[in-house]
Structure 1
């Protein structure tokens, strides 16, 4: 990821690879929307176009660096009865502003516009890594717009060995590294004092909450996420899904595995069946000498 930042800085691209070179517009396309809260920033995103709105819209708030492009392969494998929008958060890739936006509450406010859904459509909000805390605030501040919240490889202030090394080295070289990598280091280094807002938000969310985490994650330790799930009082119990052998970047693995994990977080409709009501007997004794119909038939 660091090399991708350097490569983009050298070539003038906003992302590590152009989407249009790999997928046609009928599969993936670049879109944008105006940030909420009166901020007015232009927010860039990738979306899966559909002829008509499907029942579920999956909105992904990415981590740091925030590049929707890393979700392209997963998005291309999405079934037609699902829609997905993956954002480049403020301060990254093609999104405004050009400077870092370190406050997770401002990020949540800016990204609230992406939660708009078509009539009858439900939204599954996915917060990946650093985006997990932001998505938690978005879900709490937009009740009724989020039908489910997924915290995917959530980063909650405490680093693993790899992320600790990257933040330490990056902090000493802030003036020399590319913008997106610089913003990622600044965000991760300053997140921990803000987590009180994310925890408070999780306590307010009135929708199913899922945590999906790889047990080989060396960026955001799974123990930290498990402790958060265990110690945070929520309106509904947090459902924790441990993914054996997976690292921090679940979207870098086979797309079908991640899509299957997300699909498991979408409530399935049960088949409707009609049953005749059973009438109460009221304890009335059967008259003597009257045989049941089955006995008479015999």
Structure 2
């Protein structure tokens, strides 16, 4: 069941999340509670923990092709210390794109409105992959809404080091008009829901055997549910193409990262096939005020592959900067 709780905005006024149909609950077993708000269309999010907790709330932003499910192995544990919200960007998860744009800048604006309308207090922003880039742009443009930033294998300019050849081919196909659309349709028609999930695990994990069977089962059910919805391929391709363009002309992104004044933790797996670890090391060297951790034998989604290890580093970092209560 989707709740319709009221949250104060930055100006102290109350905002009414709009009920949008009856959405299924995929995170209930982990203690998550789903809600929907109208931000020029439905935005779905899942909340964990106590909204009265005095620590800064934590807002988690998924990557390309991801959703709120990407955080189920870390959000419930972190919710023992702070209110945690995991948001679905337009066209992903349970947030239908409708007529909205799904590029990087458009999603950064949606994220800012979500922080304003739903959270209403400075947050620790945590983003993975594309969500890391979007979170970095938000932290740079609106420092008053951020207490700290955690970048988990963020999308980064790769410089001279190319990504995995298979990954490069997939992104190249997605970038070409009509070819990208056909590529996604082919995959959807020819793979089962479980195969779609396992293909993503193989791509994002250094060791697929670390995947939680419970999460795999729920992700398979989630894939089956989304297959019955109107296609979101257009939003996915728009986001993918926008991401590639931002990385091809990285100056604005690099300037944004350098301008962030709040504490930043960069976490990156050294076996990431999508964003080479060399790119993370280069960004860490260019931003010496940041804290950075390179995880050995870990892929693109540490929050799913090695959640306990990732959380240990996050809690050490929040303790160092006094960002969270006990």
- Name which of structure 1's ranges 202-211 and 174-183 shifts more when overlaid on structure 2: 174-183
Q: Secondary structure at the match of 1:191?
A: helix
1:97 matched residue in structure 2: 97
* CA drift at 1:122: 4.8
Instruction: Please give the per-residue CA displacement for 1:237-272, whole angstroms capped at 9, x wherever unaligned.
Output: 2222111111111122243222222223314478xx
Aligned position for 2:298:
246
Given the alignment, which residue of 225, 242, 251 partners 2:280? 225
Instruction: Confirm whether residue 190 of structure 1 aligns to residue 242 of structure 2.
Output: yes
Change (3 A) 1:114 1:54: farther
User: What is the Cα deviation at residue 135 of structure 1?
Assistant: 0.5
Contact 2:44/2:87 (8 A) holds in 1:
yes
User: What TM-score comes out, normalization by structure 1 length?
Assistant: 0.71
Q: Say if 1:211 and 1:239, in contact at 8 Å, map to a contact too.
A: yes
Question: Which of these residues, 185, 188, 206, is aligned with residue 261 of structure 2?
Answer: 206
Write the deviation string for residues 77-116 of structure 1: whole angstroms up to 9, x where unpaired: 3342222111111221221423573431221111113334
Q: Please tell me whether the aligned partners of residues 49 and 83 of structure 2 are also in contact (alpha carbons under 8 angstroms).
A: yes
Q: CA deviation at 1:21?
A: 5.9
Which residue of the partner structure matches residue 10 of structure 1?
A: none
**Larger Cα Rg: Structure 1 or Structure 2?**
1
CA deviations 1:155-205 (Å, max 9, x no partner) are 124462142233245453513255456644543343243243322222322
CA contact (8 A) 2:48 2:79 kept: no
**Structure 2: stretches of 5+ with no match in the other structure:** 1-21, 189-230
Tell me the number of residue pairs that the alignment of Structure 1 and Structure 2 aligns: 245
Q: Structure with the greater relative contact order (CA < 8 A, sep ≥ 6): 1 or 2?
A: 2
Distance 2:321 2:281 in 1: 29
Aligned to 2:86: 86
Aligned twin of 1:160: 163
* Inter-partner Cα distance in structure 2 for 1:257 and 1:180: 33
State how 1:112-131 maps to structure 2 within 5 Å: 112-116=112-116, 122-131=122-131
Supply the distance in 1 between the matched residues of 2:271 and 2:27 (Cα, whole angstroms): 33
Separation of aligned partners in 2, 1:122 and 1:64: 25
Task: State TM-score, norm by structure 2.
Answer: 0.65
User: Which residue number in structure 1 is paired with residue 149 of structure 2?
Assistant: 149
SS at the partner of 1:77? helix
Cα-Cα RMSD: 3.0
Contact 2:90/2:235 (CA < 8 Å) preserved in 1? no
8 Å Cα contact 1:150-1:211 kept in structure 2:
yes
